[in-house]
Structure 1
Amino acid sequence: MIHQLHPIAALATAPGIGAIAVIRVSGEGAIALTDKAFRGKKLAGQPSHTAHFGTFRHADRGDGPDTIIDEVLVTVFKSPRSFTKEDVVEISCHGSEYIVRQILTRLTDLGAQLAKPGEFTQRAFLNGQFDLVQAEAVADVIAADSAASHRAALSQLRGGFSKRLKDLRQQLIDFVALVELELDFGEEDVEFAKRDQLRRLMTNIQGVIRPLIESFAAGNVIKNGVPTVIIGKPNAGKSTLLNALLNEEKAIVSEIPGTTRDVIEDELFIDGVRFRLIDTAGLRDTTDTIEALGVARTRQQIEKAALVVYLFDGQSTTSDELQAMVAELDASGKPYLLVGNKVDLMPAPAPPPGRAYSMTRYDDLTEADGVYVPSPIIWISAKDAHIDELKSALSARARTDAAMQTGSAVVTNARHLQHLTATDEALSRAVAAVDAGTSADWIAMDLRIALRELGELTGEVTTDDLLESIFSRFCIGK
């Protein structure tokens, strides 16, 4: 059943001066209300999904030019064939802030209320246009600033994992009804819900839920960017590399070791993936108090990073030093790239990738010499901005993550993670109870929890506080 609430109005396009602005009106009587200020065709008699040119006018609907606010194009969407499933009118006018204010004032004078943040999407959800996961994805689509985050948001907007979870939840409801029926016949020791079938269903649901839970770390990276920390010894060229990647003078560059003493961050997009680049203080032992704090912060950033770029000076770094750093990076468990800098200052031929060298001789040492480095080395010249191979390596490294693959359902929302985790825990307790032959009342208790958590995830079980919290984060007009 479609619920047409009181009409609301808001600017649907970004605020500010532009060529065109779009004002959206939705709710009971939205078309008739707009008709009172629109001079052109009678909107109420027009088919849905049609656009009509005319003028939008002040209260005095005479023919004088002073009564006209603007020439507009009005598009009519009749219930239920609209975004909110209510009657909707979209008024396209010139993008003057004055004109927008005048039209909104006229609409409110006629009885419309100014929409709250997310109120249009909230009405669409309440009218069954989509579930709560899809509703939240609307905001994510709007906020998407990379190809990866756009793909993830669009997947959820189109149903993503929520449709499958709803189907499994319905099957679980059917079993819970049988378990509850057993409780009504507790004294007769009957079993309506076959325990092997119930157990199979619960493990099937966990088989869907657990990969989604595991995807959150990668999903968070997609939504917020890949935290990529650039580390190395002082004067390895970290700040120069940051400037080259960003194509701007973001960090101070100096021949004096220890110039960078704090963390410098900025963002870079490579092949549709957002990287949060973090330049850090050089790693070395120091008696300088401020520099020591910078080194400590570098260690902290390594812990938080999803990817580490270890930059070393190709002129002065020895194989032993490089191997020691490789061992430390391997022990950290963090994905990393080895990047040799200042190749422009190294005599030809330049070292090939994958082989560590005595950086003062460049003799091709063998594995028997004990200096083979299994991770390929990317040789660059940060000063000359010869960094294309590094950009390609960063993109390739990010795309090896399953979350970057378009076919994978990914959780990017902390609320979703919370409900999925609680569902999995409740089902684990219920499975253990079934295996132990526990009575139906204990099994039913955990099944109810699982159903509630799944319902709150998709919006089949909601509270006013939950909806207020979710939709208040949307922009006005959406």
Structure 2
Amino acid sequence: MLDSNETIVAIASPTTPAMRGIVRMSGQSVVSILESVGVPTSRAKRPQIIDSRIDLGAPLGPIDVTVSLWPTSQSYTGQPSAELHTIGSAPVLQSIVGVLSSAGARAARPGEFTMRAFLAGRLDLPQAEAVLGVIEAEQRGSLEHALKQLAGNLSRPLEQMRSEMLDLLADVEAGLDFVDEDIEFISDESLVDRLSVIHAAVEKTRQSMESRGGSRSRAIVAFRGNPNAGKSHLINALVGDEVAIVADVAGTTRDIVSVETVLDGNTIQWVDTAGIESRAMEDPLFEITVASQAQALRASQNADVRIWCVDASKDDLDAQRRYFETHDGSSKRSSIDIWVATKSDLIDTRVVEPDWIYTSVITGDGVGPLRDLISQFVASRDQEEVGSIMGTAARCSGSLAHAAASIETAIRLVQHGDGHEFVASELRVAVESLGEVTGTVYTDDILDRVFGRFCIGK
């Protein structure tokens, strides 16, 4: 591993022409290097913003720079750090890097800034990998997943599991120290119960990571609209089977109707919901309607694709769209809404509204294009949402599987009455495996694989 105390420098912004560009430095000699190139610092132990000039030599000469300086360990990397902001010109930025390198800095390796943040305890490994996910995100789905991982949604539960494992290991080993005395730190029954809970949590996390890193996750497609708008007919046509009850009576669907199929290699959960309606409190169906509407709303808000069905032969499409947009509340940021005009065989389709798909389950018109649109979105969703965490999944799956196997072995040893020294050995393996995921336990090889995928300057 390279010396983490050396001062490193790199361009931290895109090298394409821009109003502003950034050169980043980190290391123990940041302040002295800045002063050696003509940037005055107050030597105060607090963050500073300094307007100055750096002479880049012929032909560029002196240029204006704004320096953001963190002179102590209270920075992203846990070291003295600085960012030099100036014109976003590649030759200018490269010349600044050259001047700073001549003054004592060395060129940073890919991901070295983030690796120093990890080594300083600012980030754990899943969060460091999420930094790369944020950088590479091109669509909101990938950005959402990367930001969640950066916020610790993977690390926190794993650290809680590891902490409880350490507590159990301490109890087991304490019992070994007092094996000749009548002292029980934890009963076998309690040990098995607590290990079983942790094992289930580790397995759930492992399966989730494997699905994200390789196989495609299930996408939820929910059908919404007024009663008798043709939702059930349409879902049957899309699925190619009679999965939803169809009748001419409005309000046939009360409970959620759900079925899973595979569409072009993607697993789809098709969800038929109750039509949007309200009833007076004195109506005998009031309570049932309230319950069905709440159930439909939850399904809609959790969906990846919402198919809004409006009867083209009866309703004003734009008016219904405005109503639905204000009615259904929040949804997943990565979801999409598709607006479908049903029963198009009953109208003149030569005059159509833009942004609507006209369908007829009688003639089959529009069903194929709608199915293709859903398939295309789900395929792109899988690609963008998996991409930001695929590196984490690939790195973590083996360690999580190892931890789960060790916990399972420990449970079996306790149940068979084997010696607790064997149980303690398995628990230590499980603790170490979980530590490999969060970065509590790491090797140079692990760090190389994680940070080698970064670009220089990050």
Partner in structure 2 of residue 379 of structure 1: 366
Structure 2 gap ranges (5+): 220-261, 269-306, 308-341, 350-357
**Cα separation, partners in 2 of 1:116 and 1:411, compared to 1, 3 Å:** closer
Q: Which amino acid aligns with 1:33?
A: I
2:388 aligned with 1:435: no
Select the residue among 300, 305, 313 that pairs with 2:265: 305
Asked whether 1:467 is paired with 2:447, we answer yes
* Secondary structure at the counterpart of residue 75 of structure 2: coil
Structure 1 equivalent of residue 320 of structure 2: none
In 2, the alpha carbon distance for the partners of 1:415 and 1:423 equals: 14
Q: Give the corresponding residue for 1:153.
A: 146
Aligned partner (choices 51, 63, 70) of residue 77 of structure 1: 70
Match of 1:54 among 49, 52, 55: 52
- Find out whether 1:452 has 2:412 as its counterpart: no
Structure 1 residue 450, shift from structure 2 partner: 0.6
Q: CA deviation at 1:398?
A: 9.0
| Inter-partner Cα distance in structure 2 for 1:223 and 1:126 | 33
* Normalised TM-score (structure 1): 0.60
- Tell me which residue corresponds to 2:97: 104
Change (3 A) 1:432 1:222: closer
Letter in 1 for 2:167: D
Query: How far 1:395 sits from its partner (Å)?
Result: 5.1
Answer yes or no: is 1:416 the counterpart of 2:396: yes
* Pairwise CA distance, 1:50: 3.3
Partner of 1:173: 166
1:234-260 residue CA offsets vs partner (Å, 9 max, x unmatched): xxxxxxxxxxxxxxxxxxxxxxxxxxx
Aligned residues: 336
Measure how far apart 1:455 and its partner are: 0.7
CA distance in 2, matches of 1:92, 1:28: 20
Paired with 1:125 and 1:144, the residues of 2 have a C-alpha distance of: 21
Q: Which runs of 5+ in 1 are unaligned?
A: 60-64, 227-301, 309-336, 338-342, 363-376
Cα 1:99–1:456 change in 2 (3 A) is: same
Matching residue's letter, 2:445: D
CA separation in 2, counterparts of 1:191 and 1:347?
78
Please say if 1:135 is aligned against 2:128: yes
Q: Which residue of structure 1 lines up, in the alignment, with residue 12 of structure 2?
A: 12
Distance change in 2, residues 1:414/1:473 (3 Å):
same
Please list, as runs of the form range in 1=range in 2, the aligned pairs for 1:75-474 lying within 5 A after superposition.
75-185=68-178, 191-216=184-209, 218-220=211-213, 305-306=265-266, 355=361, 379=366, 391=373, 413-474=393-454
- Once the two structures are TM-superposed, the CA of residue 220 in structure 1 deviates from its matched residue by 3.6
> Residue 422 of structure 1 contacts residue 450 of structure 1 at CA under 8 Å; is this kept in 2?
yes
Identity %, equivalent residues:
28
CA RMSD of aligned residues (A): 4.4
In the other structure, the counterpart of 2:229 is none
Change (3 A) 1:145 1:307: farther
Aligned-residue offset at 1:46? 5.2
**Counterparts of 1:109 and 1:443 in 2: how far apart (Å)?**
57
Whole-angstrom distance in 2 between the partners of 1:378 and 1:206: 50
CA distance in 2, matches of 1:394, 1:213: 28
Q: Specify whether residues 192 and 306 from structure 1 end up closer, same or farther in structure 2 by C-alpha distance, changes over 3 A only.
A: same
Distance apart, 1:110 and its partner CA: 1.1
C-alpha displacement of 1:21: 1.6
TM-score for both structures, normalised by structure 2? 0.62
Kept in 1: contact 2:359–2:367 (CA 8 A): no
Pairwise CA distance, 1:168? 2.4
